[in-house]
Amino acid sequence: GFCLFNNVAVAAAALRDRGERVAIVDYDAHHGNGTQDLFWSDPDVFYVSMHEWPQYPGTGGIHEVGGGAGRGTTLNLPFPSFATGDVYRRALDEVVLPALAAFAPTWLLISAGFDAHRADPITSLGLTSGDYADLTMALLPLVPAGRRLLHLEGGYDLDALADSTGAVISALIDDGAYRPEPATAGGPGAEVCAASLKIRDALADR
């Protein structure tokens, strides 16, 4: 990935070692290959990545679901370029939130990368700060207050980074009152949600 030290993975491992069940949700535009590899066979850490495909580092295919005791605790949603917030929200509602509810995490860690913003110069996704606020607010009920950590990651347009960071902090503290941009809709990617649902259903049947 882009980092030397994976702060999300360090936090997740420390929590797991204390007996916690950890959900990591990564909405950075790049797949978190290091995080996935570290927890690939770990049944107590559930890793979700919503990322652009194809894009560096080239991992995070939809059929990568974990292995061994951790089979089913990796969930990849590789969205096509120009995917918009409505597709992300559908993925949360139909795939991510049900899977995480069944996992029953005691902690939520969010890899808060903002390079899926439509203004970002190195990716081609279509989100706005409003979408990031929506995604974050949808995830918060998974665990009680005081058991949520957000880790700032990518974001290479400084205005978009500032707006998105502010909107997500607002989602945490005042129900998203600060929303400098509206949420988006109309982009591609619905087929990813449908394919992921089939994979999750197949895993549940085993």
Which domains are present in the chain?
Answer: 7-204 (3.40.800.20)
Contact in structure between 73 and 67 (CB atoms under 8 Å): no
The vertex-171 CA angle with 167 and 177, nearest 5°, equals 70
Please report, rounded to a whole number, the percentage of residues in the chain having pLDDT higher than 70: 99
pLDDT score at 206: 65
Determine the Cα–Cα distance for residues 168 and 170; give it in Å rounded to an integer: 5
1 has a pLDDT exceeding 60: no
Determine the Cα–Cα distance for residues 161 and 23; give it in Å rounded to an integer: 24
In 1-42, the DSSP E strands lie at 22-26
> Residues 91-144: pLDDT tens digits?
999 999 999 999 999 999 999 999 999 999 999 999 999 999 999 999 999 999
pLDDT score at 194: 96
pLDDT score at 4: 80
The predicted model scores a pTM of: 0.97
